Amino acid sequence: MKGKNNIAVGFLVMGAFMLYGFLLIYLRDFAPDKAAWVDSYSTGKHFESRLAHVHGNLFAFLNIVIGFLLLQYNDKLKNVKIISRLAILGIMMPMGILAEIYLGLPPVFVLLGAISMITSVIWLGVSFYKLK
């Protein structure tokens, strides 16, 4: 059942980043310092938080799609387990952005997550290309 975890993680992460989107709406429309937040639209924490929100939902959706495909083609594809794990590790990218913003951590998790997701997507694409 390789791929099941990708689907589960994908939906859970998507739900979390959807909630984070509501926080961003609050900061834009209702927070006491909303004018300052709106003014910093393309810089600093505002920009980074939007990057995390968008990539979090994108990578969650990719995990759902990858998981579904891995479940459907589990017997026909090679390296399913590695592709699955790399896609899940890709979630480190948007989580790493949030860790930079809120915890001041270095961008190493962003890079590792991005490399993991890109590798899983390309590996799966090549696997499907080779499928007979």
Mean pLDDT of the chain: 94
Alpha-carbon separation of residue 63 from 88, 111, 113, 114 (angstroms): 7, 18, 13, 13
pLDDT tens profile 25-82: 898 888 888 888 777 777 778 789 999 999 999 999 999 999 999 999 999 999 999 9
**What is the spatial distance between Cα 76 and Cα 80, in angstroms, rounded to a whole number?**
9
Domain span at 23: 4-130
| Count: domains in the chain | 1
Task: Find out whether 7 and 68 touch, Cβ atoms under 8 Å.
Answer: yes
The whole-number average pLDDT for the span 115-122 is 98
pLDDT tens profile 55-64: 999 999 999 9
